[in-house]
């Protein structure tokens, strides 16, 4: 009698143990799914980031879920969607950095790890959220590079700084955009450029069309300047201003423009048979921002290794003449 109770217990225990083992092995086999959410999916930079993230997905065998999130509503829906798909984490470049706290909350609610890329998220008081790992460009330093290269090109052409207008395509609500362009202003000042000639062209959105409109207003108001230098947060902004200048017959011999990015927007410009006013771009690395962030997220999920709190990446001047060598150096 006693023996049969023990037998029954033994059977129950075995059954329970089996169930635990089964469920933990199922858990271990849960497919790894990582979201990669970007604010402007149509922009070549973000296309490149996705392409390099896909490389990481292929190498490690996880699924990459790419979602364009042009506004807050789409972003929140995307996070809930990742939760429903049982993803384990996501990388995000948000359409508005002020959504930081809401993003952090939505991630927690959906049991998702979150890692920001390009644009660092802010809390309600406008401070960077340091609990969310971030990879961005070293914005101020890269801006300084833009300013230094513009000054060097002015010198090469023998232009008089006092006669040149400097157009800053401004998108100041985005901290990285302001840091980049202010870095350029500071470097120009340090090179002796008269600060009163620096004119802001405030852009409503961060795309080429808005920059084009902003630049047109400045060129109309400041028509006394016959020569210009142009800089902004990225290639798309700078190209908008270059097109506006061309519309006023200010071309390569009257304008020096340097962007930031160096992706397809730059390469298309360099591929034109005739050099345009778009002299160069500070190349930044979509490989680091796409491939490396994805790998770091993968390791966070699979090995519980937290990504570094803050990674800032570098840039290098890309021109028509050095493009192949510089891109190769960046592993692109
Ligand atoms: C921001 C810009 C992009 C790119 C990226 C590194 O998100 O909008 O164009 O420059 O930073």
Q: Which pLDDT tens digit goes with each residue over 43-75?
A: 999 999 999 999 999 999 999 999 999 999 999
What pLDDT is attached to residue 239?
A: 98
Beta-bridged to residue 229, according to DSSP, are 166, 256
Q: Which of 24, 16, 22, 51 is nearest to 290 (CA)?
A: 51
The residue whose CB lies within 8 Å of the most ligand 1 atoms, and thus the one to mutate among 38, 41, 44, 45, is: 45
Calculate how far, in angstroms, residue 237's C-alpha sits from the geometric centre of ligand 1: 11
Cβ of 93 closer than 6 Å to ligand 1, yes or no, is: yes
Contact (CB, 8 A) for 257 and 229? yes
Cβ of 179 closer than 6 Å to ligand 1, yes or no, is: no
The CA distance from 292 to 296, in Å, is: 6
Strand order in the sheet with 164-170: 198-202, 164-170, 227-231, 255-261, 278-283, 316-319
Per-residue confidence band for 272, with pLDDT thresholds at 50, 70 and 90:
very high
Q: Which of 295, 298, 290, 296 is nearest to 309 (CA)?
A: 296
Cβ of 235 closer than 6 Å to ligand 1, yes or no, is: no
Cβ of 206 closer than 6 Å to ligand 1, yes or no, is: yes
- What pTM was computed for the model? 0.91
Calculate how far, in angstroms, residue 234's C-alpha sits from the geometric centre of ligand 1: 6
Residue 270 scores a pLDDT above 70? yes
Tens digits of residue pLDDT in 210-255: 999 999 999 999 999 999 999 999 999 999 999 999 999 999 999 9
The residue whose CB lies within 8 Å of the most ligand 1 atoms, and thus the one to mutate among 39, 234, 261, is: 234
Calculate how far, in angstroms, residue 93's C-alpha sits from the geometric centre of ligand 1: 9
């Amino acid at each position: 009698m006693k023996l049969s109770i023990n037998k029954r217990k033994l059977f129950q225990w075995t059954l329970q143990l089996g169930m635990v083992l089964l469920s933990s092995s199922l858990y271990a086999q849960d497919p790894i799914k990582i979201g990669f959410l970007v604010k402007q999916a149509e922009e070549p930079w973000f296309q490149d980031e996705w392409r390099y993230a896909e490389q990481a997905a292929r190498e490690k065998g996880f699924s990459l879920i790419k979602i364009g999130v042009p506004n807050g509503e789409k972003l929140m829906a995307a996070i809930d969607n990742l939760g429903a798909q049982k993803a384990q984490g996501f990388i995000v470049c948000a359409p508005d950095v002020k959504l930081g706290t809401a993003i952090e909350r939505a991630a927690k609610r959906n049991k998702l790890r979150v890692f920001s890329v390009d644009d660092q998220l802010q809390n309600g008081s406008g401070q960077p959220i340091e609990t969310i790992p971030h990879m961005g460009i070293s914005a101020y330093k890269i801006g300084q590079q833009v300013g230094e290269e513009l000054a060097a090109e002015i010198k090469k052409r023998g232009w008089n700084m006092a006669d040149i207008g400097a157009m800053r395509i401004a998108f100041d609500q985005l901290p990285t955009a302001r840091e980049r362009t202010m870095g350029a202003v500071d470097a120009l000042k340090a090179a002796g450029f008269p600060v009163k000639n620096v004119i802001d062209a405030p852009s409503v959105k961060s795309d080429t069309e808005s920059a084009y409109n902003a630049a047109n207003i400045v060129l109309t108001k400041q028509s006394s300047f016959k020569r210009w230098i142009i800089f902004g947060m990225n290639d798309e902004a700078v190209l908008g201003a270059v097109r506006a200048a061309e519309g006023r017959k200010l071309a390569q011999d009257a304008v020096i423009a340097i962007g930031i990015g160096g992706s397809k927007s730059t390469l298309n410009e360099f591929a034109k048979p005739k050099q345009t006013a778009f002299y160069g771009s500070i190349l930044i690395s979509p490989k680091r921002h796409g491939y490396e962030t994805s790998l770091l997220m993968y390791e966070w999920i699979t090995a519980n290794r937290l990504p570094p709190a803050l990674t800032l990446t570098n840039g290098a001047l890309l021109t028509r003449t050095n493009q192949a060598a510089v891109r190769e150096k960046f592993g692109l």
